[in-house]
Chain A
Amino acid sequence: MEGSVGYDNDLNLKATELRLGLPGTEPVSIVRRNKRSLQQVADDDCGVNGCKSDDQNETAPPPPKAQIVGWPPIRSYRKNNIQTKKNESEGGGIYVKVSMDGAPYLRKIDLKVYSGYPELLQAIENMFKFTIGEYSEREGYKGSDYAPTYEDKDGDWMLVGDVPWGMFITSCKRLRIMKGSEARGLGRGV
């Protein structure tokens, strides 16, 4: 497949591109716009590691795929139910308590059921019927009175979303949805 029709591999048009959408969806556009370069990256990796033929097992593992919202196209209900069962049969669920300021009782969720932050946050939004703001590294969660936080292994309260997902699920002891001025304070000036 030659050519990169419609793909801006050379010009950084992305910098001037005007979009309406979550910053967090950027990985999606990267995958789409550079889908051929995604292929190339896979081939290059192979080249760098001296991959000669299909039989050799010394090739590097394929590059980690970007987390794509809504892919593969499986109903959330089905995704949640399969993951849960699988983890039960593997004998490990990472159950943590989730509290929300102002709610009368806590809930418990299994972090292993989710594949990343978007799904986890969506699930918490659905569970407590509210909207978390939008995440940015600089300013935390903007646009809502709530901020999702977690207690890590050191006993510190951290903002959800700062560390890679894998690190998060192994260090998270419990979750707390903070509300109001406390939440805004955490987002700013850290």
Chain B
Amino acid sequence: MNMNYFPDEVVEHVFDFITSHKDRNSVSLVCKSWYKIERYSRQRVFIGNCYSITPQRLIARFPGLKSLTLKGKPHFADFNLVPHDWGGFVYPWIKALAKSRIGLEELRLKRMVVSDDSLELLSKSFPNFKSLVLVSCEGFTTDGVAAIAANCRFLRELDLQENEVEDHRGHWLSCFPESCTSLVSLNFACLKGEINLASLERLVARSPNLKSLRLNRVVPLDTLQKLLMRAPQLVDLGIGSYVDDPSSEVFSKLKAVIQLCNSIRSLSGFLEVAPCCMSAIYPICENLTFLNLSYAPGLQGNDLTKLVQHCRKLQRLWILDCIGDKGLGVVASTCKELQELRVFPSDPFDAENAAVTEEGLVLISAGCPKLNSLLYFCHQMTNAALITVAKNCTNFIRFRLCILDPVKADPVTNQPLDEGFGAIVRSNKSLKRLSLSGLLTDQVFLYIGMYAKKLEMLSIAFAGDSNKGMLYVLNGCKKLRKLEIRDCPFGDVALLQDMGKYETMRSLWMSSCEVTLGACKTLAKKMPSLNVEIINESEKLESEQLEFSFDDRLLVDKMYLYRTLVGDRKDAPEYVWLL
């Protein structure tokens, strides 16, 4: 029976079951009637690039909006490739939402600039505001956090992940009113400053629904013990400081209370740690599904290995490379449910002490059949190892390999790593995200274009020989959404061959490649639906401007282009040229 004969409310009810953003977007395109029903019933919106749309248009289309996710700066901003003040300001969004009648309840931001003023306006404009998640953001201080604490009466979630926050050592924690009892999730691990420990204890004591608590490094072990007494129902715990004398009374109390915390499934932190205290944690290891020790450089390889041996149900592990290949072998034989592994370098600039190599990765691939997501920093990789990994693991959705020396060949054969990565993409048909490293020629891109049919995001650095490399990817990867390239010999020919392709993608980043100003201008002119931005930091340019008069042959240092419905942005700093 034709759905158009159903009253709108019925169709809307059916749409309630459609939650993924992709599906809802598809549904809205079916016909005018569905577009209308969908837009009025839509509560959650995800905007992957804050410059692709304006807040005004968002508000006009989705009056029922309750939850907004926004991403700002390009991914390479994480690695200092995007200068200060490039953009990604959230204030205009909050201002527009505040003016409207939107009953915002949840705001999730990534790589955006968030001022204290924005946070204050946010906290005062939405009476039902429940959830704030900030990831890799900057621009605010603990004063802004205090405003959220003080004014959001029904706050459930305050989650600050890896933000650079200026700590004014004010009493933001004490700003939670006594009447606030609704907290479910509180994560302040990235804050550096002192907090009032007594306030923290009282806050936890009056939050019966608290499930997730991640502390910063100033919270000592004895406070941890008291907090766990108050909140044995925690599911996710991030430990701040974990240092004490194992023979102390406090430590005995901690051991006892940890036994009661049998709901903990996720453990992180240990920002300061005394390895001799780790044994108290073993009782909860049995049930852990997520363990993040990537910020615990105080734990040596042996400590990590001993801990991991107890974690038989682990699904996600984030760890430092001091665990070593042997330690990864222990992970491989213990953690049979492992789906995601991230191995971070404990000393990114130390080329001497190879902590993990291709051996560790091979062991993991052999022991963990469910592995689907990998981030692996290592000192070397071989084609043989990658080919073995590709045989063992065919379920990868995310595969990110970072060999610390950017152009390192296979140390055994001295060959580029084309064949190894080729094997990975050939056997992992569901691969959505790939990051390459090591010595690579155009050949690897031929393989990627041929086999990586579901690939959505690709990160390339110091790879390839010619434009052909980039063209293989652009032509072959039909689902590509984000492409970021640095220091590769790709130029105008590759950039301009299929300009329409970029309308099917979210964004393209190219830095230190061989793209000229003229080509960027051509692209910008021919494709009005794209914003083509040149980031130009050179102070020299002001004097050279007269000499070259914007010579089209100038090689552009950084280019960022993205599709947009709303033309050039108005908030770009002077050094960003909008073509």
Residues of A in contact with B (beta carbons under 8 Å apart)? 1, 5-6, 17-23, 25, 28-29, 31-32, 35, 38-39, 62, 65, 68-79, 81-82, 85-86, 89, 115, 118-119, 122, 125-126, 131, 133-134, 142-143
Contacts A35-B462, A71-B406 known; A65 to B79 CB distance under 8 Å? no
A5 touches B465 (CB 8 A): yes
B287 interfacial contact with A, CB 8 Å: no
Sample of 25 A–B contacts (CB below 8 Å)? A1-B409, A1-B441, A6-B465, A18-B551, A20-B536, A20-B554, A32-B487, A62-B351, A65-B351, A70-B79, A72-B404, A74-B79, A74-B344, A75-B79, A75-B136, A76-B78, A77-B136, A78-B295, A78-B344, A82-B295, A82-B297, A82-B347, A89-B297, A131-B84, A133-B539
Q: Quick one: given A1-B441, A18-B551, A122-B80, are A77 and B163 in contact (CB under 8 Å)?
A: yes
Cα separation A31 to B271 with both chains bound (whole Å): 36
Given A21, A71, A126, which contacts B537 in the complex, CB threshold below 8 Å? A21
In the complex, are the beta carbons of A134 and B540 less than 8 A apart? yes
CB–CB B554/A86 < 8 A: no
Tell me whether B555 and A71 are in contact (CB under 8 A): no
Most buried by A among B297, B345, B435, B441: B297
Which residues on the A side are within 8 Å of B554 (C-beta)?
18-20
- Chain B 337-358 near chain A by CB (<8 Å), digits 1 or 0: 0000000111111010000000
Q: Chain B residues near A81: list those with CB within 8 A.
A: 271, 295
B466 in the interface (beta carbon within 8 A) = yes
Within the complex, what minimum Cβ distance (angstroms) separates B79 from chain A? 4
Q: Are B78 and A73 in contact (CB under 8 A)?
A: yes
Are A86 and B162 in contact, CB atoms less than 8 angstroms apart?
Answer: no
Q: Does the CB pair A39–B407 fall under 8 Å?
A: yes
Do B76 and A6 touch (CB < 8 A)?
Answer: no
Instruction: Name A131's closest neighbour in chain B (CB-CB).
Output: B84
Min CB distance A165 to B, Å, is: 11
Q: B345 to A72, Cβ gap below 8 A? A: yes
Closest to B76 in A: A70
Is the CB of B145 closer than 8 A to any CB of chain A? no
Given A86-B347, A122-B80, 5 additional A-B pairs, CB 8 A: A76-B78, A77-B136, A78-B294, A81-B295, A131-B84
Q: Is the CB of B294 within 8 A of A18?
A: no
Q: Could you tell me if B405 and A29 are in contact, using CB atoms closer than 8 angstroms? A: no
Residues of chain A within 8 A (CB-CB) of B347 are 82, 86
Q: Once the chains bind, are B439 and A1 in contact (CB under 8 Å)?
A: yes
Determine how close the nearest CB of chain B comes to the CB of A26; give it in whole angstroms: 10
B512 near A25 with CB under 8 A, answer yes
B557 & A25 in contact (Cβ 8 Å cutoff)? yes
Q: Mark B401-415, 1 if CB is under 8 A from A, else 0.
A: 010111101000011
Does B190 lie at the interface of the complex (its beta carbon under 8 Å from any beta carbon of A)?
yes
A18 to B349, CA, bound (A): 31
- Chain A's closest residue to B516 (CB) is A18
Q: Is B565 an interface residue (CB 8 A)?
A: no
Task: Please give the distance in Å from A161's CB to the nearest CB on chain B.
Answer: 14
The CA of A134 and the CA of B346, in the complex, are separated in Å by: 31
Once the chains bind, are B164 and A77 in contact (CB under 8 Å)? Answer: yes
Chain B CB within 10 Å, residue with most, of A5, A20, A23, A31 = A20
Q: Is B556 an interface residue (CB 8 A)?
A: yes
Q: Are B79 and A31 in contact, with the CB atoms below 8 A?
A: no
B462 touches A76 (CB 8 A): no
Q: Which residues of A have CB within 8 Å of B536?
A: 20-21
Q: Are B512 and A28 in contact (CB under 8 A)?
A: yes
Q: Are B548 and A18 within 8 A (Cβ)?
A: yes
B193 within 8 A of A: no
List of B residues within 8 angstroms of A118 by Cβ: 80
Which of B76, B80, B489, B539 contacts A134, CB < 8 Å?
B539
Task: Provide the bound-state CA to CA distance between A73 and B74, in Å.
Answer: 14
Q: Are A19 and B555 in contact (CB under 8 A)?
A: yes
Q: Are B297 and A19 in contact (CB under 8 A)?
A: no
- Whether A78 lies near B162 (C-beta < 8 A) is yes
CA distance A118 to B409 in the complex (A): 28
Nearest-neighbour CB distance to chain A for B484, whole angstroms, equals 10
Contact of A74 among B297, B348, B459, B512 (CB under 8 A): B348
Distance (Å) between the CB of A31 and the closest chain B CB?
7
A31, B537: Cβ atoms under 8 Å? no
Q: How far is the CB of B320 from chain A (nearest CB, A)?
A: 8
Q: A18: shortest Cβ distance to chain B, in Å?
A: 5
Nearest 10 Cβ contacts at the A-B interface: A21-B557, A143-B539, A70-B79, A134-B539, A32-B487, A35-B407, A77-B162, A85-B297, A70-B81, A75-B78
Name B532-578 residues within 8 Å CB distance of A. Answer: 534, 536-542, 548, 551, 553-558
CB of A21 within 8 A of CB of B512, answer: yes
Question: B294 and A85: CB pair below 8 A?
Answer: no
Partner of A71, one of B79, B138, B295: B79
> Complex formed: what's the CA distance from A68 to B462 in Å?
11
Q: Which residue of B lies closest to A79 (CB)?
A: B348
Which residues of chain A come closer than 8 Å to B346, judged between CB atoms? Answer: 82, 86
Chain B's nearest CB lies how many Å from the CB of A69?
Answer: 6
**Given the complex, which residues of A lie within 8 Å of B555, measured CB to CB?**
17-21
Is A20's CB under 8 angstroms from B345's CB?
Answer: no
Q: In whole angstroms, what is the CA distance A61 to B275 when docked?
A: 34
Return A162 CB to nearest CB of chain B, in Å. Answer: 18
